[in-house]
Structure formats: structure tokens, C-alpha cells
Amino acid sequence: MTLKLISLNAWGGRVHAPLMQYLKDADPDVLCLQEVTHVAGYDGGWLTFREGDFELPQRASLLEDVTEVLPEHQVFFAPAACGPLYDGDRQVMSEWGLATFVRQGLPVIGQAQGFIHGDFPLSGFGEHPRPRNAHGIRIFRHDTGSLVTIVQMHGLRDLAGKGDTPARLAQANALVGLIEKVWRPGEPLVVCGDLNLLPDSETFTILERLGLTDLVTTRGFTDTRTSWYPKDGRYADYLLVTPNVKVENFAVVAEPEVSDHRALLLEIA
């Protein structure tokens, strides 16, 4: 049997119906979602994120919606920030961050969660570059009698671009520190997410110290964005593995389009 993993920036559920159908049909064993919105106790479906003149619809119940289409999974939600979304002119406080869904029957025997850039903002979403966090799980596979650690992150967004900065290098070292809290050297390790980096980033050199190699660039993929993202600079999402991860299949999923990011699909023996 294989273990199916999907990593995806959910874009706050903006492409909601196709996203829900894709996740239901794909039914991954482990789902790593970035940009997940959650509004506790809110009875409406859609809210709006506003920043200056920019507006983006956000699914208030995205965390619950995914939980509903993956009923056989347990969910771990790791908010990176808490700030206002809008119902007309009314502010509604929301949480925003990472969600990891793990199929029941895959025991989570260890985990680590923490900030790799900044810290939780106590008032609003914070200034750019905003805080970012990561979440790692160490799971036991009954089918193979083995362990695997999966870590997801959402890399900081710098308005100046995706090039290396001192903050991004500090983020990479903080990520290594978090990985080492949950992963045991010698065991398979997967690191994934919207890293918000260029392929030649020094971050990948830092992660190579753990034996990690990126599958997106080394397997010839040149685009991890969809038609919802009209800009140049098509790299954002990456998936890295150690050599002992037995890759059966890896794909950057072009269709269906369920976000402004493409899903990354990994199947391991």
C-alpha cells in the first residue's frame, strides 16, 4: 500500500466548490493545507479580506468544510495570526494558518508546532512580512511497520519579492530547528508547503544538511501556480524528501484548478 500526501495553499477557500470536490475525490491519507481560515461560531459562509484597495473572498468555515469532506481524518489547526475579515462593514475576527489532516488509523506519535518567522500578532494580522509558522507530525504506518515525519510550512511573504533576505535565512534555520524537534535522523522525512521562494534560494542549501531534496525542481516542473495567478514568477510551492522516502508517484497537479496554487501530490511506498 502507498501513503498519499497532498500539500496545497488553499487560498482561504476562494475556489471553494472545486476544492471541496477535489479533496473528497483525492481522499489523501495526509493533507497539508496552508492559508486556512477559521471563524469560530460564525454562521455565515463568506467574508472578505481587505488590505487597502485589495479585497479577497474568504470562506469563513473552510476548516469545518474540509473536515466535513474528510470525515475519517483528525485535524490539527495551527493559527499563525488572528485578524479582521468583513461582512459588509462589520468586522469579524478570524484565525488564519495551517491545517494538517491525518487519516484515522495513522497514529500521530509526535508533533511540533511553532513560529519560524516572527510571533503571533496580538493585534490584527501584523505588518509585512507577517509571522509564519510550521507544523510537523511523526506518524506510524501499520501497513509497513515504519515511521515517517511530515512537516509543512508557509513561508514569509516579502513585498519586495521572493529573493533571499536575512529574514528568510533565519526562517530556514528556524525550520530546521522545528524539524529536529519531531524527526529522528535516519527515518523518512517529507517537508512541504508554500515556501514563497525562488528555486535557487539558500534555504534549499540549508535544508540539504538534513538530506532533503526538492522534487518540484529536480523532476522538471516549472509552474506551481494556476490561471488564477496571472503574474510571472511561477514557483512558490515545493516538496522535499530524504533519500529513504520511497517515492511511487509525484505530481504537480495542473487540473482541477482549486486555488491560485497547484496541489502537490506525493505517494510513497
Q: What's the topology of domain 3-268? A: Deoxyribonuclease I; Chain A (3.60.10)
Question: What pLDDT, in 10s, does the model give residues 9-19?
Answer: 999 999 999 99
- Cell (9 digits) for 24: 473528497
Question: What pLDDT, in 10s, does the model give residues 82-133?
Answer: 999 999 999 999 999 999 999 999 999 999 999 999 999 988 887 888 999 9
- Cell (9 digits) for 144: 509497513
Closest CA to 129 of 93, 81, 79, 177: 81
pLDDT at residue 162, rounded to an integer? 95
Do 36 and 97 meet the contact criterion of CB atoms below 8 Å apart?
A: yes
pLDDT at residue 41, rounded to an integer? 84
Interacting residues of 144 by C-beta distance below 8 A, sequence separation 6+:
1, 269
What residue ranges do the domains of the chain occupy?
3-268
> pTM above the 0.95 mark?
yes
pLDDT at residue 19, rounded to an integer? 98
- How far is the C-alpha of 82 from the C-alpha of 130, rounded, in Å? 11
pLDDT at residue 128, rounded to an integer? 85
What residue ranges of the chain have pLDDT lower than 70? Answer: none
Closest CA to 165 of 134, 196, 120: 196
Q: What is the DSSP string of 3-15?
A: EEEEEEE-GGGTT
- Cell (9 digits) for 75: 485535524
Tell me: cis bond preceding 107? Omega within 30 of 0 counts: no
Q: Which run of H or of E encompasses 168?
A: helix 166-182
